[in-house]
């Protein structure tokens, strides 16, 4: 079984292997019309590396580890597209990114970043629209049954799996903080939120990093951060940065975001 430390070593050794394009583990094909805030963060060569979400006409939200040690000029974003395509014309260039000042690569903590675009997106509310962000410190009901949630992205279908280019979605259970800590043997923090299914083998994998954990379909409660490998092995749910704990930080660092 891969541990969190092994995952981090993998990330440092080979971005192409750790974050290939593909699909969510045991997800189903979807369309951008259902998730018009979804964006594909691409490498300098144009291949998918991470997910991201539109939060304002000039601002994109993603995971800190998706941009750490990269140059803004090496990043492009594909938007308004169900299918990933290196030659797609719906591309955005990144002016700069803001990595959380307390981001820790070793612990994968404060795993959040903002990307500022050149120019502005124009919403059509069909294929281009912002995700809804929660209020500061919003918490889901802490029940043993958990709360229904969902995940969208282009991550691989299994660890080391085959590339697929169509946007995927999967329904998940958002676990209570207590259950999250229990399942991960106290290896999470108050700034994390967990989601998966009890039987395992459904949820995030490499390439889903930076994408959204959604509540009620449009409210982004989490940013895909890390997971135990192989992807979605039970009983470990996927780990996300808890967005509601960073709303003040988002407001502070980008104008007119919220």
Residues 36-130+245-253, CATH architecture: Beta Barrel (2.40)
Residue 7: predicted pLDDT? 41
Residue 164: predicted pLDDT? 67
Question: Could you confirm whether 209 is annotated as catalytic?
Answer: yes
User: Out of 30, 111, 208, 225, which one is annotated catalytic?
Assistant: 111
Residue 143: predicted pLDDT? 87
Overall pTM > 0.85? yes
Residue 22: predicted pLDDT? 30
Residue 16: predicted pLDDT? 31
Question: Could you confirm whether 198 is annotated as catalytic?
Answer: no
What is the per-residue DSSP string for the chain? Answer: -B-HHHHHHHHHH-HHHHS-S---BT-EE--TTTSTTEEEEE-TTS-EEEEEEEEETTEEEE-GGGTTT--GGG-EEEES-SB--TT-S-EEEEEEEEE-TT-BTTTTBS--EEEEESS-----SSS--PPBPPPTT------TT-EEEEEEE---SSTT-----B-EEEEEEEPPHHHHHHHTTT---TTEEEEE-TT-S-B--TT-TT-EEEETTTEEEEEEEE--BTTT-TT--EEEEEGGGSHHHHHHHSTT--
User: Out of 30, 48, 49, 65, which one is annotated catalytic?
Assistant: 65
User: Out of 30, 49, 150, 209, which one is annotated catalytic?
Assistant: 209
**Which stretches of the chain score pLDDT less than 50?**
1-23
Question: Could you confirm whether 106 is annotated as catalytic?
Answer: no
Task: Collect all residues with Cβ–Cβ distance below 8 Å to 45 and sequence separation of at least 6.
Answer: 86
């Amino acid at each position: 079984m891969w541990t969190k430390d092994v995952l981090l070593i993998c990330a440092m050794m080979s971005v192409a292997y750790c974050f290939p394009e593909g699909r969510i583990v045991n997800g189903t094909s979807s369309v951008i019309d259902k998730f018009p805030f979804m964006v594909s963060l691409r490498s300098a060569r144009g291949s998918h590396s991470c997910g991201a979400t539109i939060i304002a006409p000039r601002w994109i939200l993603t995971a800190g580890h998706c941009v750490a040690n990269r140059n803004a000029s090496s990043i492009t974003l594909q938007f308004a597209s169900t299918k990933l395509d290196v030659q797609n014309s719906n591309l955005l260039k990144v002016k700069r990114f803001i990595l959380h000042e307390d981001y820790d690569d070793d612990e994968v903590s404060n795993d959040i970043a903002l990307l500022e675009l050149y120019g502005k997106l124009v919403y059509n509310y069909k294929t281009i629209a912002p995700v809804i962000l929660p209020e500061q410190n919003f918490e889901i009901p802490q029940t043993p049954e958990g709360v229904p949630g969902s995940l969208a992205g282009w991550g691989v279908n299994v660890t080391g799996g085959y590339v697929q280019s169509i946007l995927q979605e999967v329904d998940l259970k958002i676990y209570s903080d207590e259950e999250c800590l229990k399942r991960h043997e106290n290896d999470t923090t108050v700034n994390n939120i967990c989601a998966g299914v009890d039987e395992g083998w459904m949820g995030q994998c490499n390439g889903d990093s930076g994408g959204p954990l959604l509540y009620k379909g449009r409210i982004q409660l989490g940013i895909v951060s890390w997971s135990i490998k192989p992807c979605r092995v039970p009983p470990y749910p996927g780990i996300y940065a808890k967005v509601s704990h960073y709303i003040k930080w988002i407001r502070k660092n980008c104008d007119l975001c919220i």
